[in-house]
């Protein structure tokens, strides 16, 4: 069941991510790894992410800036320790939110250079393709409603910024 939230202003992605930035980094990474484990459970079960086994994936979120590192160990996603990342995925928080809410796809973001991959290209493309398989039914309904509402806000802000002419200087 999706809860209607039309009477509340849509929160910015910076507001949604603020709690992660306020937590100690290892705890924030562990929480994100656990949530991502649930979202990607089908891809983990069918072996789509085997390439990540023992390797490090860094996810860099801009606006606000967060950097998290993950690895796959015996089919489980964990926060990664020190060491260089094998592949880094970088995108804005707004774009990642739209991706999770299924308002855009990774290929569109990638070809518009709003989803960037660096490092091991094969691993990066495998991760990009798995992002398209996220199963939203695994997100609890209240959280799914919040994600949808926030994605509506991102789309509204972007539409307003495109339709509003720049002020003369």
Query: What pLDDT digit, counting tens, does each position of 145-168 carry?
Result: 888 888 898 998 888 886 655 545
What are the start-end ranges of the H helices in the chain?
13-22, 25-39, 41-45, 93-100, 106-111, 121-131, 141-163
Query: What pLDDT digit, counting tens, does each position of 59-94 carry?
Result: 888 877 888 899 999 888 888 877 899 999 999 989
Q: If one looks up domain 20-153 in CATH, what number appears?
A: 3.30.1050.10
Query: What pLDDT digit, counting tens, does each position of 34-68 carry?
Result: 888 887 888 888 888 888 899 999 988 887 788 88
| pTM for this model (two decimals) | 0.78
Distances from the Cα of 165 to the Cα of 2, 35, 159, 160, angstroms: 35, 40, 12, 9
d(CA 129, CA 135): 13
3: left (phi over 0), alpha (psi -120 to 50) or beta: beta
């Amino acid at each position: 069941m999706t809860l209607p939230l039309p009477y509340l202003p849509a929160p910015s992605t910076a507001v949604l991510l603020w709690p992660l930035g306020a937590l100690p980094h290892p705890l924030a990474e562990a929480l994100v790894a656990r949530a991502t484990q649930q979202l990607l459970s089908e891809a983990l079960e069918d072996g789509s992410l085997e390439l990540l086994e023992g390797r490090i994936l860094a996810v860099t979120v801009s606006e606000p800036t967060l950097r998290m590192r993950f690895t796959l160990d015996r089919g489980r996603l964990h926060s990664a320790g020190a060491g260089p990342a094998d592949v880094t995925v970088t995108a804005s928080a707004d774009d990642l939110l739209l991706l999770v809410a299924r308002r855009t796809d990774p290929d569109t973001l990638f070809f518009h250079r709003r989803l960037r991959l660096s490092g091991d290209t094969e691993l990066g493309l495998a991760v990009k393709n798995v992002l398209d398989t996220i199963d939203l039914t695994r997100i609890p309904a209240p959280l799914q409603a919040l994600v949808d509402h926030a994605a509506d806000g991102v789309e509204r802000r972007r539409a307003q910024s495109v339709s509003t002419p720049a002020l003369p200087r």
